[in-house]
Amino acid sequence: MRALRFSDHLFLDRAYPKPKPGQNEALIRVIMTGICNTDIEITKGYFGFQGVLGHEFVGVVEAVNGGAQHWVGRRVVGEINCGCGSCAYCRRNLQRHCPNRTVLGIAGKDGCLADYITLPVENLHAVPDVITNGSATFVEPLAAAFEILEQVHIIPSQEICILGDGKLGLLVNKALRQTMAQIIHIGKHESKLQMAQGPGIKTELWGTFEPRLFDIVIEATGSVSGFQAAPKLVKPRGTLVLKSTIAESPDFDFTTVVVNELTVIGSRCGLFGPALRALEKGLDVSSLVTEVLPFDQAEQAIDLAQSSENIKVLLDMRKR
């Protein structure tokens, strides 16, 4: 099969072995995939991963090794963390924190930038018919955005600052609109900030923004500069939510965190249910797609995804 591999360098392998599902695993034919900033950071050394990249996908189950044959033929997305199933975290449905987990395309398991993948059946979620393939590729990052609502109690009177106008920042914007809180979205690109606008939401360019303090700041810039600037925008005893994964190890001044008694929350993967329900009810993410390329142009797609002009680049496995 075809697979986009990273092994000290990035290359499209056209003769990579097709995976075989283990016990209670599904073999999934990938239909469409999305390129994430984490994929790009892996090519810069993040997590030391070597193998097939990718963790945002929609596909069709072709076979199941085990008893859950009702999945065969169904269109699915899948949770990317594969837990051991027996530890305290897995028993609490927190496989994303299992100390023995593998992670699709990130840690110990080949990813979805390939014609086929395998995942445990328990990781699968059926995609409702009303959700397009393109929108379905957003389930994983949208779930990461909704994870903030699981971790932080937000009330309408609070002022929230979202830092970063890339794909993750814009998805966080969509997830937090339902809180009715006052949202200021700050970024570096006027065209992207236009997508962030909506009732009760203000946008500001970073270059002209006059710094002030917020109850909650969500850092989603994917940059060292954003990571360093975010704590300085949080009110004393406020909350800082860190969403970025960065290969470079940034210098971080904890003095502000200590003096202002900030609550700092790392926020990563989320549950797929809220994201799927939001898309099924009509949450529109189609405007975030700026390029759809055939998978044979996967290397070019990675380059395009790093351009500030692009928001979300998708790969269609069916196109040639």
Tens digit of each residue's pLDDT (9 = 90 or more) over 89-137:
999 988 889 999 999 999 999 999 999 999 999 999 999 999 999 999 9
Residue 236, phi-psi category: left (phi > 0), alpha (psi -120 to 50), beta (remainder): beta
Domain 142-266 classified CATH 3.40.50.720?
yes
Which pTM value belongs to this model? 0.91
Write the pLDDT tens digit of every residue in 157-188: 999 999 999 999 999 999 999 899 999 999 99
How large is the average pLDDT for residues 41-51?
Answer: 87
| Per-residue model confidence (pLDDT) at position 249 | 65
> Residues with Cβ < 8 Å from 147, sequence gap 6 or more?
267, 268, 269, 270, 271
Domain boundaries, the chain: 3-138+285-316, 142-266
Q: Which CATH superfamily is domain 3-138+285-316 in?
A: Medium-chain alcohol dehydrogenases, catalytic domain (3.90.180.10)
222-243 pLDDT tens trace: 888 888 899 999 999 999 999 9
- Per residue in 1-20, pLDDT (tens digit) is 999 999 989 999 999 999 99
